[in-house]
């Protein structure tokens, strides 16, 4: 029995359907995870301000979050007030600045402590994160 030779030209096309399916699944996964990355990880009820503005910066700020109970977070890591002082003292950026996220019901005393630590370490530029609302 004689076999006929198989030539490469017999397979004229590659089936693209599995490739397209995989690319679409990866796209959906990317879109879903991108929304989680952009949101703050520490849930806060931010105060409202009628003059709230969106602000884009080239330099990444040091994000300090204060919960209603007075818990302090720096870049989503829980810290004590003394540890925050040490962390801010280590910053050697040209023009460092702090993005302060505070719950609307946080006692003002805690906010003043954070600002006092920053000023003690020669950081005078602050951004206070709020939500846009009617006053």
Which has more pLDDT, 81 or 49? Answer: 81
What is the structure's pLDDT at 77? Answer: 86
Which has more pLDDT, 2 or 113? Answer: 113
1-11 pLDDT per residue, tens: 667 666 665 56
Enter the pTM of the model: 0.57
Residue pair 106/113 in contact (Cβ under 8 Å)? The answer is: no
Average pLDDT of 74-100?
A: 83
Rg (CA), the chain: 26
* First-last CA distance in the chain: 91
**Residue 47 CB: number of other CB atoms within 10 A?**
16
């Amino acid at each position: 029995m004689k076999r006929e030779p198989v030539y490469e030209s017999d397979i004229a096309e590659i089936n693209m359907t599995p490739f397209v399916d995989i690319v679409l699944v990866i796209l959906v996964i990317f879109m879903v995870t991108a929304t989680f990355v952009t949101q703050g990880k520490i849930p806060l009820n931010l105060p409202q301000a009628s003059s709230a503005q969106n602000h884009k910066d080239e330099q990444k700020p040091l994000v300090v979050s204060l919960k209603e109970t007075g818990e302090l977070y720096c870049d989503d890591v829980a810290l004590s007030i003394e540890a925050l002082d040490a962390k801010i003292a280590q910053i050697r950026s040209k023009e460092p600045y702090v993005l302060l996220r505070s719950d609307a019901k946080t006692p003002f005393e805690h906010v003043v402590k954070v600002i006092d630590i920053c000023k003690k370490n020669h950081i005078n530029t602050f951004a206070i994160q709020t939500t846009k609302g009617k006053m």
